[in-house]
A = this chain, B = another copy of it.
Amino acid sequence: MRFRQPLEAALQLSELSREGGVPIPTIKYYLREGILRPGTRVSANRAGYDESHLRRLRLIRALVTVGELPIATVRDVLGAVDDPALSLHEVLGVAHHALAGGPAAPAGSDEMADARAEVDRWLDDLGWRVKDDAPDRYELAATLATLRDLGWKVGVDVFSRYAATADELAAWELSQTPVGDSRERTVEAVVVGTVLFGAALTSLRRLAEEHRSAARFGG
């Protein structure tokens, strides 16, 4: 007697590829890299895939194409998503850590140290609860040091308007987080939100600048 192929492993690799919009060699690469769980063996030389594979494949594609994350970073982020011991806050921290990446340290480490101390003091004054080793502290300090290097005579409060905007937006974003969903869904929504809406905000700021610049400088 032959067993019926279980419904949940109903997708062949070729179907997973078509449905997920990812070429087969790329899927095989994700399987080798361990960022996509192996399929269920359905015959001697064939594996079957289910909805969870398709869902994960789409998430990987989103992080790679829209988020422009390298595969090693995707692995870190998905590892956190799949770790039930981590709180939502901790998963978000891993995602932020991975997203920040970080530019090379600019020359002139005295200037950089000064900028970093200023950023830390300023975030404290704002009352923001942010980990001491958050890479974005460094990124912000590097941006401040670079502005000064370009001759801008500015303190860290040159970012005040941006901080107010970011805080308002983040408060709203967090209030939108679905509650009552499974942990898996919620965590995914938070990661997708950070990455995809971050990309959307970046694009919209440029489009808005173009619109406002047309008004101001003529087009």
Which A residues fall within an 8 A CB radius of B? 21-22, 55, 58-59, 61-62, 65-66, 68, 87-90, 92-93, 96, 99-100, 103-104, 106-108, 123, 128-131, 134, 136-137, 139-140, 142-143, 146-147, 149-152, 159, 161-163, 165-175, 177, 188, 190, 192, 194, 196-219
Instruction: Decide: B210 and A92 in contact? CB cutoff 8 A.
Output: yes
A87 partner residues in chain B, CB cutoff 8 A: 217-219
Instruction: Decide: B66 and A200 in contact? CB cutoff 8 A.
Output: no
Contact A201 to B162, CB < 8 A, known contacts A106-B65, A128-B207, A129-B211: yes
Nearest-Cβ distance from residue A161 to partner chain B, whole angstroms = 6
Q: Which residue of B lies closest to A108 (CB)?
A: B21
Best-buried of A140, A146, A198, A214 by chain B (most CB within 10 Å): A146
Q: Which listed residue, B152, B170, B206, B215, touches A212 by the CB 8 Å rule?
A: B170
Q: How far is the CA of A172 from the CA of B159 in the complex (A)?
A: 13
Contact A89 to B174, CB < 8 A, known contacts A106-B61, A206-B194: no
Q: Which listed residue, B167, B194, B208, touches A170 by the CB 8 Å rule?
A: B208
Instruction: Decide: A99 and B149 in contact? CB cutoff 8 A.
Output: no
A212 partner residues in chain B, CB cutoff 8 A: 167, 170-171, 173-174
Q: Which residue of B lies closest to A141 (CB)?
A: B203
A and B contact pairs by CB, cutoff 8 A, 25 listed = A61-B106, A66-B142, A89-B210, A89-B219, A92-B209, A92-B217, A96-B206, A100-B203, A129-B219, A143-B196, A143-B199, A143-B203, A147-B192, A147-B196, A159-B200, A162-B200, A163-B208, A166-B204, A167-B204, A169-B205, A171-B212, A175-B216, A198-B202, A198-B206, A201-B201
